[in-house]
Chain A
Amino acid sequence: MKLLTKIIFFLYREYKLNLSGVQDILTNIIFFFVSIFIFIFSIGPDKETISLIGVGILWTLLLLSSTLSLRKFYQDDFENGNLLIIHLNGFSYGFIAILKTLSHFIFVQIPFLLSIPIACILLNISNEKLIYVFISFTIGSLILSCLGSISSSMNLMNQRNYLLGSVIVMIFSVPIIIFSVGIINLEENFNSLTNILFGILLIVFAINPWASGLCLKLSLENS
């Protein structure tokens, strides 16, 4: 019972934090939309072409904009010692990683998910496809949150090469993009492709607490 209250108020704390930094999230979303505009202008007015490559653009931009906010994943809490306090409050490192991933999904990725219908209209993606886009993005952004947790915890002590974290996320998200773009373009294979994506989600979800937890422990030990 006590654990449950602690979890709830951990999320409450994250909510308060993200609310006070809501302009960061909004800037992310604005980045997302401005990049869509730029894509549309650089491709030209041909609606056929845009709707053909729309899903790919959407995925690329989601990936890029969610890697933008990666540095904040653990960095703030690490630097002001909150990570330590949370750990001393009875959360193991792996559990902190799970909760942080969850809160990243809720407070950073869900605003993106909510803005996808508008992006679909801009990119001329038909309404029937919207449901496929939505499902693949939900699973995909959960995977991205887990990957983000792993890569940003690895780079907590990395003072020189911040971009490395984004590269790690991107290289591991290649299979996600292959399958999730497949979901949308090959509707007849919807079930099996969703299962594959779900399988990838399970794998990263299982690896995440171990890898991130170990990295958090390392960084706290040596800070």
Chain B
Amino acid sequence: MSLRFQRLLFIVLTLVIILSAVLLILYNTRENVSYFYTPSEIDKSNIMINKIIRIGGFVENNSFNKISSSSFKFKITDEKASIIVTFKGILPDLFREGQGAVIEGAFIDKNIFNATNVFAKHDENYMPASIKEDLEDTGYWNKKYK
């Protein structure tokens, strides 16, 4: 085997290894490196009480209740399942019904999730406020724009 052929062999070998490794990683990461879980991903029968996790989804319409000036109760949903959340503290600007949010905290019992932090999740749509009103007036407002 000449040196050049050996070198070529090693290059091909390296590329094959890297390619297979990338495929292996991509195939497996999709569901694993999550900053948060969605409500339907949480196994209702096997809830770990007091274990700190993050849940991401939308704030369900008509579920937001103000209990006192700094204490709130709402539902997080991903249209398949929903979770009741209680929170004490200051909500971010973007937080509103129908808007995406990520909450950090723990289940205090089987059904109620006590949030310690609430982050509002913004989507990739940018639109002037005036246009939104126009769209709503004419009925073209796409529900997907949350």
Chain A residues with CB under 8 Å of chain B are 94, 178-179, 182, 189, 192-193, 195-196, 198-203, 205-207, 209-210
A222 to B28, CA, bound (A): 43
Measured CB to CB, the closest approach of chain A to B97, in angstroms, equals 32
A94 to B31, CA, bound (A): 36
Q: In the complex the two chains form, is A195's CB within 8 Å of B28's CB?
A: yes
Per-residue interface assignment for chain B, residues 33 to 71, with 1 indicating a CB less than 8 Å from any chain A CB and 0 otherwise: 100000000000000000000000000000000000000
Q: In the complex the two chains form, is A196's CB within 8 Å of B14's CB?
A: no
A39 to B40, CA, bound (A): 38
Give every chain B residue within 8 A of A203 (Cβ-Cβ).
17-18, 21-22, 25
Q: A178-B33, A198-B21, A199-B25 known; 15 other A-B pairs, CB under 8 Å?
A: A189-B32, A192-B29, A193-B32, A195-B24, A195-B28, A196-B25, A196-B28, A196-B32, A199-B28, A202-B24, A203-B17, A203-B21, A206-B13, A207-B18, A209-B14
Tell yes or no: B111 within 8 A of A by CB.
Answer: no
Q: In the complex the two chains form, is B17's CB within 8 Å of A205's CB?
A: yes
Interface of B is mostly: helix
Measured CB to CB, the closest approach of chain B to A19, in angstroms, equals 33
Give every chain B residue within 8 A of A205 (Cβ-Cβ).
17
Give every chain B residue within 8 A of A179 (Cβ-Cβ).
32-33
Q: In the complex the two chains form, is B24's CB within 8 Å of A199's CB?
A: yes
A202 to B21, CA, bound (A): 6
9 contacts between A and B (CB under 8 A): A94-B10, A192-B31, A199-B21, A202-B18, A202-B21, A203-B21, A203-B25, A207-B18, A210-B14
Measured CB to CB, the closest approach of chain B to A192, in angstroms, equals 4
Give every chain A residue within 8 A of B29 (Cβ-Cβ).
192, 196
Tell yes or no: B117 within 8 A of A by CB.
Answer: no
Measured CB to CB, the closest approach of chain B to A159, in angstroms, equals 31
Smallest CB gap from A95: residue in B: B10
Closest 8 CB pairs of A and B: A202-B21, A199-B24, A199-B25, A192-B28, A206-B17, A199-B21, A195-B28, A203-B21
Neighbour of A192 across the interface among B10, B13, B18, B32, CB < 8 A:
B32
Tell yes or no: B116 within 8 A of A by CB.
Answer: no
Neighbour of A206 across the interface among B18, B24, B27, B28, CB < 8 A:
B18
